[in-house]
Amino acid sequence: MFTLTPLEVEALGLSLRVAAVAVAGSLPVALFIAWLLVRRRFPGILVLDGIVHLPLILPPVVVGYLLLIGFGTQGPVGGFLKDVFGITLIFTWKGAALAAAVMAFPLMVRAIRLSLEGVDRGLEAAARTLGAARLRVFLTVTLPLTAPGLLAAVVLGFARALGEFGATITFVSNIPGETRTLPLALYTLTQSPGAEAGATRLAVISIVLALGALIGSEVIARRVSRRLGQG
């Protein structure tokens, strides 16, 4: 029987919490930005698009350093949060969630954007001619039709957040029980002599977790697509 060690339980639990918070916090913003990029034309839209996708091409360490400058206790945002709300992100699991959210954000926006681009605008127009307000059209027509893209965004974001390493270790360090997620725990074991077996176990856990999420999301996506097709 495969029994998790205390180290594995700690790293796994922290990783799941960080990834869940990262996705939950990013999803509404990703939906809004994707809608903005698809449905609106304004000066600077290319700049916004570039900024959104910047974490995809920047080294994660650079992203972590920028977070350190902006959200550290001496940074403009981090200092404000600490002085006004007493919130500290650096060297905490909340900071790890922020780093994971930033790195996952471009993938989430892209998935939702592709789904939004496939929505039939004629259905929205028909709902509008029947007297539905814009918000109601969005909630009852656009959002359901975008459901597969939202699901894809959640899965991609969750998987990316689970695997985040560079930005996390740069921004919040590698603190046991606080910021040491699965990738950081695996890295720690690879640097420890005689810990190859533990590192292999963590690698297997990571692979199983990622595969489970992808397979589960595919099953759900097919069910959602069938229901939309029947509707």
DSSP state of 164: -
Q: How far apart are CA 131 and CA 54, in angstroms?
A: 40
Q: Which two tokens stand for residue 161?
A: 């957040």
The encoded tokens of residue 83 equal 């002085």
pLDDT of residue 229: 63
Q: Which long-range contacts (CB under 8 A, 24 or more apart) does 161-164 make?
A: 161/18, 161/19, 161/22, 161/23, 161/97, 161/100, 161/101, 161/103, 161/104, 162/15, 162/16, 162/19, 162/206, 162/209, 162/210, 162/213, 163/206, 163/210, 164/60, 164/96, 164/99, 164/100, 164/103, 164/104
CATH 1.10.3720.10 fits domain 6-230: yes
Query: According to the model, what pLDDT value does residue 92 have?
Result: 95
Q: Would you state the pLDDT for residue 1?
A: 54
What pLDDT is attached to residue 102? 96
User: pLDDT, tens digit, for every residue of 4-43?
Assistant: 888 899 999 999 999 999 999 999 999 999 999 998 888 8
- In the numeric block, the tokens 């689970």 are attached to 162
Q: In the structure, how many helices (H) and strands (E) does the chain have?
A: 12, 0
Give me 16's structure tokens: 């799941």
Query: What are the domain boundaries of the chain?
Result: 6-230
Residues of the chain where predicted confidence (pLDDT) is lower than 50: none
Q: How far is CA 57 from its chain centroid?
A: 16
